[in-house]
Amino acid sequence: MAERSFAREVQDLRLGAGEEFRGEGILAVTKALLQSGVGYVGGYQGAPISHLMDVLADAQDILTDLGVHFEACASEAAAASMLAASVMYPIRGAVTWKSTAGTNVACDALSNLASGGVTGGALIVIGEDYGEGSSIMQERTHAFAMKSQIWLLDPRPNLPSIVAAVEHGFALSETSSTPVMLELRIRACHVHGRFICKDNRASPFPLIRALNEPRRDTQRIVLPPASYAHEQEKVTKRWPAAVEYIRANGLNETFAGDIDDIGIILQGGMYNGVMRALALFGLADVWGETRVPLHVLNVTYPLIGDDLAAFCRGKRAVLVVEEGQPDFIEQALHAILRRADVPTKLAGKDALPMGGEYTPQVLVAGLRRFLEAHAPALLREARTPPSAAEVLADARVKALAQSVPPRPPSFCTGCPERPIFSALTLVQKELGEHHVAADIGCHLFSINPPFAIGTTTMGYGLGPSSAAAFQVKAEKRPIAVVGDGGFWHNGLATGISNAVFNKHDGVVLVVDNYYSAATGGQDIPSSRAENPSRSTKHPIEEAVRGVGGRWVRRIDRTYSVAKMRDALREALTTKAEGPKFVIASSECMLNRQRRERPAFQAAVKRGERRVKQRFGVDEDVCTGDHACIRLSGCPSLSVKDSGDPLKQDPVAAIDNSCVGCGNCGEVADAAVLCPSFYRADVVHNAGPWELWLTRLRTRLIGALAQRRDARRLELA
Amino acid sequence: MDGTVPMHEDRPIGVAIVAMGGQGGGVLADWIVALAEHAGWYAQSTSVPGVAQRTGATIYYVEMIRPRSGQMPVLSLMPVPGDVDVVIAAEMMEAGRAIQRGLVAPGRTTLIASTHRALAVTEKMQPGDGRADPAAVMTAARAMSRQFLAADMQAIAERAGSVISAALFGALAASAALPFRREAFEETVRVAGVGVEGSLRAFAAGFDAVIAPAANPAPSPEAPSVPQGGSDAQRADLARALQRLDAQFPAAAHAMLRHGLARLVDYQDTAYAHEYLDRVARIAALDDAAHDFALTTEAARQVAVAMSYDDVIRVADLKTRGSRRERVRTEVGARPEQPVGTTEFFHPRLEEVCATLPAGLGRAVEASPVLQRMVGAMFARGRRIRTDTLTGYVPLYLIAGLRSRRRTLLRHAREQAHLTEWLTLVEGRARDDYALALELLKCRRLVKGYSDTHARGVGKFGKVIGALSHLGGRADAADWIRRLREAALADEDGKMLDGALATVATLATVPTEIKETVR
């Protein structure tokens, strides 16, 4: 189960014709899939498309009614392979993932799919994780679309345009026998907007029918000589068919303007930013009117040469707004204009930066440069857009650089992965620093303060294999980290099995928090939860042993820092041969709290005895060294003024957000730190015997304390 | 210009919310959207969730506009620097970050900020005080905004039993930056339907807090000056110490001395407090009004801390007091009668055990490998002590009772020797180099903590003081000691300190003639 419930959003998926949907972009896509008669949906979770997966996982009954098969695929490769169902059968299928990370994983299947071509519409919903908020390398999906000849849709970032792109995407795919990618940037996925719905419809060709009446055509299989024919087919049939559909249905949009000697060609996703930039110059308004003509590429691949040449013809200069690099569209446009013998000047990456997100601020600067060069008179008449330059040049604002601290993402309060890295820190204090190969997942936060552990990250589940070169005899062994998400995504084969087969000597630390936690807490094979639509509870340890792992230590409570430390120390020092696996398991605290907190409150309300734990610091015992924080970094463990003029440094303090995970006490203990921590067990609904005992204890202890306190001399 | 397309002047209202992941910025954005939509406006919000939201800095952006019939507005998915109407910061430094991003514009932007601090890891992990100063943010916020509304929204929300987003929503209503009435805001909270009562309380409190900001916090309490508890004779003795303090010491140091006196009486007894005054008096004799008696004041602080070294007895004493039980109960919000168990985490090492033995015995154990192994085995594991039970409380109570014997213990002998050596050094330097003596006093700040931490602190202290041998006679010796001390406080392992020491070592080895050439 995901960390967020989508019960309300599921109701939005039921909306019928004429009703208005209000909500997030990626959920509008989900609704659009159902309206398009999709037969099956798959994908791999990850921001910014996790919600598409999560809402469908919560919408099992709607899917059953429509006969839609939904899978939370093991990886993007598995998801892409699922589209094979649309090769022979007129069934629409959609898959989704975070790109380009996921597209990289999916490439093998995508290439094969694109070569043989499809019968039913095959739509790949791409969460383009680029710019602010992204968690991956900054690349473009565009290159993948071009290399495999998959059409790329990049609709304007409003819900009606996005929904239309889904519907046209399927039709375009079917008409041209080509898979289609629908690219949505981070903010477009999360944009709140509205559109008018249509009724959901079931796939006209049910999956069951395909199984009962199987079809085959060896011409669609990627094997010579068919593969040679596929390439010719791509060029001679599928491309022209796509161009025809795109033109006939007006997928790209031209917005006329009165200043018709210049123009802008832009990716659909850039539309709102470009319009805002124009509006700030007084050249457009908030209702979509523009004085500068725009040609909006809702389809960025293939480009329609004739349309582009026609838009440019008669203009002195045209600006291409194409986010990211390389500048594929701009380069193609140069060729298009050259071939069509159109003399229009083309501006693009000379006015705008080659790399990085095109924020409105960047677009304003780019537009200014374009106008300066090609329409200086217009620029003189235009308004001056607001600017923060003056504010940012102010000494008082510059001074902030000294005080505002960086705040990278980190482990949540009570995160079970924190004690793992506390333990690793303690082991490294004993045995020296080690080479640590990191992986993708929440555990990658170990690279940030206070732990600063981890050297490289090569991709999801690739931690163990990224330490492969270091499997040589040395005084110190390499350590590789892999999360449970990465383990099932890719790590079992490429990391675990690979390490066993190649007789690695290093340590593999498997961080098991019961979920694919970084992507929103989705279930995976080793999840402990009862999930009616999935088979869970497959222990990682069994998988490791199943592929030949022999030295395996399992820690079922990562908060036992001393045990964690001892297991890691043993793994690093044992004489045993072969890879040493340490599986560190404890449930993701976000998910645990989401489940336990309401249950706890309900039980207390029912009058059942419950104990709430939290930690505290005796501020008069704390000396303000903060060693505890250097081994923790928990958001609820902070520092505050001591209130004692003799104590200059702030003392540790634990705030109300503490969930009582126990790490503080364990670390103080394992690291031999200081006795200022205490754990408080607050008992709710104590029974009469317990209350009596407590009263008795309190009285006796109180008497002792009072005896001493009364005699204590004080200066008050 | 003929054929010009007429441009509408309508402008959306932009609201940026800057927060940390987990603060409920998304809830606040949803409320603002619902508020606008309920009023018949068109609203769009965006955010950048995902891993970036796990406790890191994040931003939500909302635009809203009164609709025109049949037309859909084109709204921005990102705030434009210099063009944002409202910025809501859910933490003080995040307000600073918003200003750094150019989101706050003078004459344009209403800036609503919670003044509380959620310290970043880099601020709180330093062995010293790594906290950034929010004053710079306050200054910039006032100067750069059209309207700056600030209050501790976190505290307000906690008092109301709710979350910060509700208090900030109240402040937004109070700012009148959006064209909606207070009732419409409250209705939005009600319709959302989660934790409505608490949210509305926090909303109202947030609203009031920025309309009528709370008065300045009470001034810091006076230094302690009234003897209490103990016998008549003890109080009289303490009163004499106070008289001595007033008579013998410069007024500038009185407050700090009183704090020191209070600490040491609490720590040991009045005789100990007199010893304290004796030690500080030797420093005061070298001090003068021209320096504002800085040396005396610093000695009053550092000597008190050094003399009240943290030992097992002290910890046991602090943890077995009646007031401590009450403080814990308040902190965890326990009702009267509600049982609260308290578990303490102790892990004394052999060193601490020996230090708590009478000096002779302690040294004997330290000298004997056999005894060391025996005692060491007894204390190899950490102890968890339940101080709410008699079996846990009584042993600690008895250890606290060792206070009267403290002067006979090994630790005391060592602390006294260390103290004397340090103060002798300070006194020796004070005559020739006042600034250096002051810096040497301040270095005692490095010694703190328990076990390893204490040992590391003593080690750093020794290294900094030891650098004097390279700095002898230099006019900038004080400055070097200050730099070394700051380096020692910057990280745990003393890497910065070692680097700085390496530099100091080169100062001494460079022959004078070369130094001349370099100049």
With contacts defined as CB-CB under 8 Å, which chain A residues touch B331?
A: 616, 680
Looking at the predicted structure, is the pLDDT value of residue B514 above 70?
A: no
Mean pLDDT of chain A: 95
Whether residue A387 is predicted with pLDDT greater than 80 in this model: the reply is yes
**Beta carbons within 10 angstroms of residue A368's beta carbon:** 17
pLDDT tier at B219 (50, 70, 90 boundaries)?
low
The C-alpha atoms of residue A361 and residue A388 are separated, in whole angstroms, by 10
Nearest CA in chain A to B455: A673
CB-based contact A510:A586 (threshold 8 Å): no
Task: Find out whether B397 and B385 touch, Cβ atoms under 8 Å.
Answer: no
Average pLDDT over residues A493-509: 97
A219 touches chain B (CB under 8 A): no
Check CB contact under 8 Å for A449 and B263.
no
Give the mean pLDDT of chain B: 91
In this complex, do B51 and A47 lie within 8 Å of one another by their Cβ atoms?
A: yes
CB of A684 within 8 Å of any CB in chain B?
yes
Q: Which residue is closest to A49 within chain B, CA to CA?
A: B50
CA of B58, closest CA in chain A: separation in Å? Answer: 8
Q: How many residues does chain B have?
A: 519
Per-residue pLDDT band for A63 (boundaries 50, 70, 90) equals very high
CB contact (8 A) between residue B120 and residue A406: yes
What distance separates the 2 farthest-apart alpha carbons in chain B? 105
User: pLDDT tens for residues A465-488?
Assistant: 999 999 999 999 999 999 999 999
Choose the closest CB to A403 out of B1, B79, B137: B137
Chain A residue with minimum CA distance to B313: A621
To the nearest whole Å, the CA of A211 is away from the closest chain B CA by 38
A452 CA: distance to closest CA in chain B (Å):
11
**Percentage of chain A surpassing pLDDT 90?**
91
Between positions 267 and 326 of A, the ones with CB within 8 A of B are: 271-273, 275-276, 279-280, 282-291
pLDDT in tens, A518-539: 888 899 999 998 888 899 999 9
Question: In which band, very low, low, confident or very high, does the pLDDT at B513 lie, cut at 50, 70 and 90?
Answer: very low
Residue of A nearest to B233 (CA): A713
Shortest distance, CA A356 to any CA of chain B (angstroms): 15
Please answer yes or no on whether B58 and A133 come within 8 Å at the CB atom.
Answer: yes
Are B48 and A188 a contacting pair at CB < 8 A? no
What pLDDT is attached to residue A529? 87
Q: Between chains, do A633 and B227 touch, taking CB under 8 Å as contact?
A: no
Amino acid at B122: T
Smallest CA–CA distance, residue B410 to chain A, in Å, is: 20
The token duo for A255 is: 């917005």
Q: Would you say A516 and A442 are in contact if contact means Cβ atoms under 8 Å apart?
A: no
Q: Which chain A residue lies closest to B300 (C-alpha atoms)?
A: A646
* Distance in Å, alpha carbon of B513 to nearest chain A alpha carbon: 39
Residue among B490, B515, B500 at smallest CA distance from B466: B500
Which residues of chain A neighbour B328 with C-beta distances below 8 Å?
616, 678, 680
Would you call A665 and B343 a contact, using CB atoms and an 8 Å cutoff? yes
Quickly count: other Cβ atoms within 10 Å of residue A200's Cβ.
Answer: 21
* Partners of residue A633 in chain B, C-beta under 8 Å: 121, 125
- Assigned CATH topology for domain B13-211: Pyruvate-ferredoxin Oxidoreductase; domain 3 (3.40.920)
Compute the nearest-CA separation of B101 from chain A (Å): 8
Quick check: A96 pLDDT over 80? yes
Q: pLDDT-derived band of residue B223, with 50, 70 and 90 as boundaries?
A: confident
Contact assignment for B224 to A716 by CB distance below 8 Å: yes
Other CB atoms within 10 Å distance of the CB of residue A54: 26
Asked if A406 has any chain B CB less than 8 Å from its own CB, the reply is yes
Residue among B73, B123, B129 whose CB faces A286 most closely: B73
Residue A709 to residue B321, Cβ atoms within 8 A:
yes
The pLDDT tens digits for B394-439 are 999 999 999 999 999 999 999 999 999 999 999 999 989 999 999 9
Query: Does residue A47 surpass a pLDDT of 90?
Result: no
Whether residue B204 has pLDDT greater than 90: yes
Apex B306 CA angle, B302 and B307, nearest 5: 120
Contact criterion met (CB < 8 Å) for A22 and B4: no
Shortest distance between the Cα of B510 and any Cα of chain A, in A, equals 34
Which chain A residues in 15-74 lie under 8 Å from chain B, judged by CB atoms? 22, 46-48, 50
Q: Which of B229, B333, B445 sits opposite A648 (nearest CB)?
A: B445
pLDDT at position A605, please? 96
3-state secondary structure of A678: strand
Does residue B133 carry a pLDDT above 80? yes
Q: Which positions ≥6 away from A646 have C-beta within 8 Å?
A: B256, B259, B260, B263, B301, B304, B305
How far from the centroid of its chain's Cα atoms is residue A537's Cα? Answer: 24
Can you give the pLDDT at residue A349? 98
pLDDT at B509 over 80: no
* pLDDT confidence bin for B24, thresholds 50/70/90: confident
B123-152 mean pLDDT = 94
* Apex B461 CA angle, B458 and B463, nearest 5: 110
Q: What is the pLDDT, as a whole number, of residue B516?
A: 43
Confidence of residue B346 (pLDDT cuts 50, 70, 90): confident
Helix (H) and strand (E) counts in chain A: 30, 25
- The full set of domains in chain A, from first to last, is 7-248 (3.40.50.970), 253-385 (3.40.50.920), 418-587 (3.40.50.970), 610-685 (3.30.70)
A504 touches chain B (CB under 8 A): no
* Pairwise CB contact (< 8 Å): B121 & A633: yes
Higher pLDDT, A658 or B214: A658
**DSSP-based helix, strand, coil % in chain A, nearest 5:** 45, 15, 40
How buried is residue B2: exposed, middle or buried, by Cβ count under 10 Å (0-12/13-18/19+)? exposed
**A positions 182-211 inside 8 Å of B (CB):** 186-188, 190-193
Of the partner residues B7, B304, B318, the one whose CB lies closest to the CB of residue A621:
B318
- Do the Cβ atoms of B77 and A187 come within 8 Å? yes
Q: How far is A331 from chain B (nearest CA, A)?
A: 28
The whole-number pLDDT of residue B451 equals 83
**Under the phi-then-psi rule, with left for phi > 0, alpha for psi from -120 to 50, and beta for the rest, what region is A442?**
alpha
Determine whether the interchain pair B320/A649 forms a contact, defined as Cβ–Cβ distance below 8 Å. Answer: no
- As to burial, measured by CB atoms within 10 angstroms (0-12 exposed, 13-18 middle, 19+ buried), residue B70 is exposed
- The reply to whether residue B22 touches residue A635, judged by beta carbons under 8 angstroms, is yes
What does the pLDDT look like over B353-377, one tens digit per residue?
888 899 999 999 889 999 888 888 8
**A680 and B342 in contact by Cβ < 8 A?**
yes
How near does any CA of chain B get to the CA of A128, in Å?
Answer: 12
Q: Where are the domains of chain B?
A: 13-211, 227-308, 312-411, 441-519
pLDDT for B2 equals: 46
Which ipTM was obtained for this model?
Answer: 0.95
- Count contacts between A and B (CB, < 8 Å): 449
pLDDT at residue B515, rounded to an integer: 45
Minimal Cα distance from A684: which residue of B? B338
CB of A647 within 8 Å of a chain B CB? The answer is: yes
Judged by CB atoms closer than 8 Å, whether chains meet at B81 and A387 is answered as yes
B461-483 pLDDT, tens digit per residue, is: 999 999 998 887 888 999 999 99
> Nearest CA to CA, how far is B388 from chain A (Å)?
7
Confidence category of residue B23, pLDDT binned at 50, 70, 90: confident
Give the pLDDT band of residue A508 (cuts 50, 70, 90): very high
The answer to whether the CB atoms of B457 and A625 lie below 8 A apart is yes
pLDDT at position B51, please?
55
pLDDT, average across residues A442-457 = 95
| Residue-level pLDDT at B353 | 86
Q: Average pLDDT in the B167-194 region?
A: 96
Say if the Cβ atoms of B382 and A670 lie within 8 Å.
Answer: yes
The verdict on A432 touching B (C-beta cutoff 8 Å) is no
Strand ranges inside B347-426, DSSP E: 383-386
Are B82 and B105 spatial neighbours (Cβ–Cβ below 8 Å)? yes
Mutate to test the interface with B, among A404, A681, A696, A697 (most CBs of B within 10 A): A404
Picking from B33, B105, B259, the nearest residue to A646 by CB comes out as B259
